[in-house]
Structure formats: C-alpha cells, structure tokens
Structure 1
Amino acid sequence: MSLVHVVAVITTKPGQRAAVLKLFNANVPAVLAEDGCIAYEATIDTENAGPMQSAFGEDTFVVVEKWASMDALGAHARSAHMKEYGAKTKDMLADRKIHILSPAA
C-alpha cells in the first residue's frame, strides 16, 4: 500500500487544548524527521467560517497527517517520542478518534 492520510480528532478535557497543543507542537520536529512523514499538522476551527462549517469546538483539534506508507505510519506509532507524548497527554484527553484513509481511485 502506498500513500496514507490520517485525520486524528483529539478532544481534550475542558480547558486543556492549549496545554496539549503546546506538547504536540514541541513533538512536531521529531515527527517531521521520521522516514515517510510527508505532513503532520494540528488544526483548529477557523473563526468566522460561516454557516458552511461544522465546528469541532474549543476543546478539540484535528491532526492532519500524510505518510508514504502504512509501514511508515506504524513506525511513527511505535516511536519513542510518540510514546512519551502519549504519556504526557493521556490524562488531559477526553477522546481521540483516528481515521486512516487512502486516496480514492
């Protein structure tokens, strides 16, 4: 399998989004340096997007990722820096949904 997209919807406990994003952003350089990482970015609701938007809310952020392969994504999930990030943030999270997607042919 080739190119893999990931959309991770992360909901923090109330008022914890900024703290989790600070830890996330500190981890980004290590993730971007991984073999097979093409893109890795946290995103939040765009203000004033109007009626076309279905907002996630103030305690949620969405990580948009692109990986060269499932093997690269698997190595990412097993990496020491991701395990450390997970341990630091686990008590601040309310929910996490990971969507792994492939390009439509």
Structure 2
Amino acid sequence: MSDMVHVIAVITTKPGQRATVLEIFNANVPAVLAEDGCIEYGATVDVPNAGPFQTPYGEDTFVVVEKWASMAALGAHAAAPHMQAYGAQTKDMLADRKIHIMQNA
C-alpha cells in the first residue's frame, strides 16, 4: 500500500467572507505546491445548478483537495511558515474547518 495521503479540507467562512479567504488561499498555493511531497493542492467550490444528485456545500464553503506523498510531508506542510501566516490571516474569517485525512482503500 502506498504511503500517499489524500486530504479533503472543508472550510466554511463567516457569511460573505469566502471570496476574501479564497484570495488569500490562492496567493499561498504556489508556496504549497513547491513543498516537498506535495502532489496536488487546490480549492474547489460547488458547481452551480449541477442537478438533483448534488449536495451543495453552500456559498460560504470551499473544499481543498490535497494529495501528499506521505504523512511526514503533510506534517511538514502544516508546520510551514507560509501555512502559519495563512492561518493567522484567515482565522477570524472562518466559521468552521474540518480536515479529513484519507488513504487509498
């Protein structure tokens, strides 16, 4: 089995703050993609009018889809100075954050 981990981070902002948080997030993406062990890292939002099979997260939520080569790489990511700065910049704009760390089945 691979050491690769998948992260699904569900970020809910305070009402009306998603665009601002996404701007800060997207400015940080190049630094994250340059990290050792980062395979994929990006924010996603609901597809509008996707049909009856969709369960939308809503206008204040975005989902970060990540892939890391290992738990060690993910741990280094969490401790990286640019992530600490991102967290400090956005903490007062967030209502909730759920991090799901997954592996291949």
Normalising to structure 1: TM-score of the pair?
0.98
Quote the Cα distance in structure 1 between the aligned partners of 2:48 and 2:67: 25
Alignment map for 1:70-85 (pairs within 5 Å): 70-85=71-86
Match of 1:27 in 2: 28
Normalising to structure 2: TM-score of the pair?
0.98
CA RMSD of aligned residues (A): 0.7
Match of 2:95 in 1: 94
**Structure 1 runs not aligned, ≥5 long:** none
Letter in 2 for 1:48: N
Quote the Cα distance in structure 2 between the aligned partners of 1:39 and 1:26: 16
**Structure 2 runs not aligned, ≥5 long:** none
Q: Which runs of 4+ in 1 moved over 2 A?
A: none
Alignment map for 1:1-105 (pairs within 5 Å): 2-104=3-105
Q: State the SS of the aligned residue for 2:75.
A: helix
Q: How far does residue 48 in structure 1 lie from its aligned partner after superposition?
A: 1.4
The percentage of counterpart residues that share the same residue type is 75
- Alpha-carbon deviations, 1:81-104, whole Å to 9, x = none? 000000000000000000000000
- Number of aligned pairs? 104
Quote the Cα distance in structure 2 between the aligned partners of 1:37 and 1:52: 31
Q: State the SS of the aligned residue for 1:98.
A: strand
Letter in 1 for 2:23: K
